[in-house]
Structure 1
Amino acid sequence: MTHADLPRSSDLPPDTRWLARHAPRAARLVRSVWDVRVHDLDRVPATGPVILASNHIGLVDGPLLVLFAPRPTHALTKIEMFSSRAGGLLRRSGQIPLDRDAVDMAAVRASLRVLRDGGVLGIFPEGHRGAGEYDLFRPGVAYLALVTGAPVVPVTFFGTREPGGARSSLPRRGGSIDIVYGETWQTTPHEWPRTREQVRATAALLRQHLRGEVERARSLTGRDLPGPIPDPESHNHPSAGSKRGTP
């Protein structure tokens, strides 16, 4: 299978130099606020394309996924964040804008460029903050794994939202946060055409693996997830479920 057989990727490679320079300093600053403990970091391959697929329970999951990864990581980030005060920082650090309410081909192309260049892509398959159990699962991560064959490394967060905490709440100062890297999952890349049924079947297998890694992380840390976000804040987007279409 040649590169020409695959979907077009972005012509603009993300810049990893800014992250390499500034992420360690930012991580030290975060550790001055919270007790961040990272487990099984060696499960992330040292070279080659990697997808970090993380559960999503709290506001700071995205920044922590990027700052504590062992390699420069480009995370799919909701497009609204790029219009906020953090927008300039997100662009400089090479994060990828994502329209969560549409099939965002620009985000797909940028993600493929990261992986084809042998980089690390961060993604939250649940789509929104919630209980972190993968009750909702968007199959885009499975699509990217099918296209590229990149290994998927599960990431499980504990402590980034307190039990009963609101959607935008932060953990208490000095609280402990655990980041657990899981066992790699990989599928064989499929040539064109890839059917929706293939993507859905792959997504089902990956979702099962990620759920198993949440359980392993529970046993490893002795911690539990915070539960659903209290109503009326909880998102109830039918489009965020596991039957959402893929590019």
Structure 2
Amino acid sequence: MTSALHDEPPRSAAVPHPPRRFLQSARPVARGLVRRRYDVRVHRAERVPAAGPVILAANHIGVLDGPLLAAFSPRAVHALTKHEMFEGRTGRFLRRSGQIPVDRFHTDPRAIRTCLRVLRDEGVVGVFPEGTRGDGELHRFHHGAAYLALVTGAPVVPVVILGSREPGGGIDSTPTRGSTIDLVYGDPWTTERRAWPRRTGMVRDSSALLRERLRETLDEARSLTGRDLPGPLPAGEYEDDPDTGFVDRGA
């Protein structure tokens, strides 16, 4: 992509690229620390394009998912992270490592433009379309990943994470020491880059196709690893999440 794309709507020329140096240097250290506690197995990572813009779209079952995606992705990832996390020491670390704060309950133009900045600079953006932690079955599916793909034409690579929360574990629980965690990358999903305006129906239809690709990757991950998702969170431990995108009622 060229710098001229930053001037296309939504414009991203005035938004700085998130910090990259610390993210790049910290990833080997992070992988080493995580592997001292867990057996992390990465499958089909060659499906992530080695160059150019990429969107990683992952299921979300546990508190470790973001750090796992950032540390073990073949390329450095700037992940959308709920803005509530950007406080105190954790917030300073997230900002220094180039993660992108997002307000899940209101339209957040800066988060969108920051993602576009990364993609138009041929970087990698990470998205959790479910919005918040849950059973990982993709009952909820927000449209952000599909929208970014429509704006930029970047391929979306599905990622299925298994083992980052054990069955019955709470929303902030982590697996026991020595547990195996699997990250499975799916075949990239692509859509044609669409010029402004990108209408609601276009985004919704593209998001439906992407959701189906993630579900196919989930089936592949189950077959490949012989494992399954941890099931629902305990009663009362679900986070609030806006009813945007697809929501399977009663699931």
Contact 1:228 1:234 in 2 (8 A): no
Residues of 1 paired with 2:134 and 2:174: CA distance?
Answer: 14
Q: Is the 8 A contact 1:49 1:118 kept in 2?
A: yes
Residue 228 (structure 1) shift: 1.1
Q: State TM-score, norm by structure 2.
A: 0.93
**2:235 alignment partner in structure 1:** 231
Give distance in 2, aligned partners of 1:140 and 1:182.
19
Provide the C-alpha distance between the structure 2 equivalents of 1:192 and 1:104, rounded to a whole number of angstroms: 18
Which string of whole-angstrom CA distances, capped at 9 and with x for unpartnered residues, describes residues 187-220 of structure 1? Answer: 0011111110100011111111111110011101
Q: Is the 8 A contact 2:45 2:74 kept in 1?
A: yes
Q: How does 1:1-247 map to 2 (within 5 A)?
A: 3=5, 4-9=7-12, 10-235=14-239, 237=241, 239-242=243-246
Contact 1:149 1:189 in 2 (8 A): yes
Please say if residues 19 and 95 of structure 2, whose CA atoms lie closer than 8 Å, have aligned partners that are also in contact. no
Deviations 1:71-94 (A, max 9, x none): 111000110111142111111110
- Separation in structure 1 between the aligned mates of residue 35 and residue 103 of structure 2, nearest angstrom: 31
Distance 2:15 2:132 in 1: 28
- d(CA) in 2 for partners of 1:5, 1:152: 21
Residues 196 and 22 (structure 1), Cα distance of their counterparts in 2 relative to 1, 3 Å cut: same
Deviation at 1:131, TM superposition (A): 0.8
**TM-aligned CA deviation for residue 240 of structure 1:** 4.6
In structure 2, the CA distance between the partners of 1:87 and 1:237, relative to structure 1 (3 Å rule), is: closer
Question: Per the alignment, in what secondary structure is the counterpart of residue 23 of structure 1?
Answer: helix
Q: What's the CA shift for 1:22? A: 1.3
226-235 or 128-137, larger mean C-alpha shift: 226-235
8 Å Cα contact 1:127/1:240 also seen in 2: no
* Distance of 2:130 and 2:151 partners within structure 1: 20
RMSD across aligned positions (CA): 1.5
Range with greater deviation from structure 2 (27-36 or 233-242): 233-242
Structure 1's unaligned 5+ residue stretches are none
Matched to 2:92, the amino acid is G
Unaligned segments of structure 2, at least 5 residues: none
The secondary structure found in structure 1 opposite 2:182 is strand
How much identity, in percent, do the aligned residues show? 57
| Counterpart residue identity of residue 90, structure 2 | A
Distance 2:17 2:8 in 1: 20
Amino acid at match of 1:6: P
Q: Does the aligned pair in 1 maintain the 2:47–2:188 contact within 8 Å?
A: yes
How many residues in Structure 1 have an aligned counterpart in Structure 2?
243
- Tell whether the 8 Å contact from 1:142 to 1:206 is kept in structure 2 after alignment: yes
State the TM-score, normalizing by the size of structure 1: 0.95
What is the distance in 2 between the residues matched to 1:49 and 1:241?
24
Q: For the residues of structure 1 that align with 2:186 and 2:28, how far apart are their CA atoms?
A: 22
Structure 1 residues 25 and 237, CA, compared in 2 at 3 Å: closer, same or farther?
A: closer
